[in-house]
Amino acid sequence: MSIERLRTNARDFTEGARRPLSTRGFNSNAGQAARTPVRSPKEIGEFYDRNSRVLTEVFAGSMHYGYWTGPDDDTGFAAASERLTAIMIEKLRVGPDDTVLDLGCGTGKPAVQLARATGARVVGVSVSAEEVELASALARSEGVADLVRFEFADATDLPFAPGSFDAVLALESVVHIPDRINVLQQIARVLRPGGRLALTDSITGRGAEGDEEAELAMAEVLDAWRHAPQVRAGNYPRFLREAGLVADEITDIAENVKYTYGKLYAAMDEYVRKHGDLPPDLARIFDLGDGVDWAEQEKEPQRDGIVIIAAHRSDTSR
């Protein structure tokens, strides 16, 4: 995302208490890691308890990035988000005989789309009780409650037996977890041998010794969203290998998802015009983007972005 204005806005926010952060499961800028607090699953869940209803509205339903083919693609936010979900579903290669874990299910739209597209059974989990409630209501209203259910569960301590799932979908959920290897080990444990994983994660292309103000700005953005430090795409083969998974695809989609930022802030602005105020957490995020020229941002080289990871559990993984 554009840093020039964000770095200015970040000076308006104090860094607050910083907790020690293990570097076992990520490899990001030391400056960003030092400035980004570790958030517990409880804190992350409470963030979404407070904000999921509004986030569902401003994200046009799916609560994740959209996917656009380029600057001339005028697809709306909702359809672009569904497009990214469809891309991820295709990588799972599942059908009516399969059971899929949606790790970090949000308010349920991707799970509903997955069930409708494939006929697979879906179990969605979240650390937000509010999301579980909203997602369950969506499944009922969309007529897929026989295929889709949602549970309260922590991705770092999944309450499922080994080999319970044929595939795992993780759309922008591991971004909250500092130790990526830990959550990948949990995924490998609940996957059957040969089972597939498709996830998206937040990546950085910044050097090890980056611009201090830029690191501060990005750390403020990550903290506002309760995200862990970003990782480097090049470290994913090792992450997967250590978890007992085999990498099939690592694709940087920063140039496709970068249009999300401007559309999200426009949607937030529209929400303020319609309702008067954003919840305090989201007002902080909105203020961090105040004055950013998002059209110009889209023209800039994308040093930070999103990566798609597709992998499978090997027959010999633990």
The residues assigned a catalytic role are: 172
Q: What are the CA-CA distances from residue 55 to residues 47, 62, 101, 128, 279 (Å)? A: 11, 9, 22, 13, 10
Using alpha carbons only, give the angle 222, 256, 111 rounded to the nearest 5 degrees. Answer: 75
Which value, in Å, is the radius of gyration of the alpha carbons in the chain? 19
Burial 24-47 (b: 16+ CB within 10 A, else e): ebbbbbebbbebbbebebeebbbb
CA–CA gap between residue 26 and residue 256 (Å, rounded): 24
Torsion angle, alpha carbons of 303, 305, 310, 313, to 10? 90
Chain-centre distance of CA 202, in angstroms?
Answer: 7
DSSP summary character for residue 231: B
